[in-house]
C-alpha cells in the first residue's frame, strides 16, 4: 500500500517547482534565502514580483 501512495504523490509533484530567491534585509543588510513551492505557471509571476 505504501508504494501506491508514493506513486500518486510523485505524479502530482511534477506540476510544481521550488523557487529559491535571495532577499536583502532592511535592518542588517544581510542576504537571506526564501524558498517557495509554486505551480509551474506561476513561477514567472513570482520572480517578477519584488
* CA distance linking residue 41 with residue 39, whole number of Å: 6
Mean per-residue pLDDT, 25-34: 92
> Which pLDDT score is estimated for 47?
83
Question: Does some domain include residue 29?
Answer: yes
Question: Does some domain include residue 45?
Answer: yes
Question: Does some domain include residue 7?
Answer: no
Residue range(s) defining the domain that contains residue 46: 15-50
User: Which grid cell is 8?
Assistant: 500518486
pLDDT band at 49 (very low <50, low <70, confident <90, very high): confident
* CA distance linking residue 36 with residue 39, whole number of Å: 10
Total domain count, the chain: 1
> Which pLDDT score is estimated for 3?
57
* CA distance linking residue 32 with residue 12, whole number of Å: 29
> Which pLDDT score is estimated for 30?
95
Report the mean per-residue pLDDT for the chain.
80
Residue 40 clears pLDDT 60, i.e. is over it: yes
Mean per-residue pLDDT, 5-25: 75
DSSP 25-44: -TTT--EEEEEEEEEGGGHH
Amino acid at each position: 500500500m505504501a508504494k501506491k501512495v508514493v506513486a500518486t504523490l510523485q505524479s502530482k509533484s511534477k506540476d510544481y517547482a521550488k523557487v529559491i530567491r535571495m532577499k536583502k534585509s532592511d535592518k542588517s543588510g544581510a542576504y537571506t534565502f526564501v524558498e517557495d513551492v509554486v505551480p509551474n505557471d506561476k513561477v514567472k509571476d513570482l520572480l517578477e514580483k519584488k
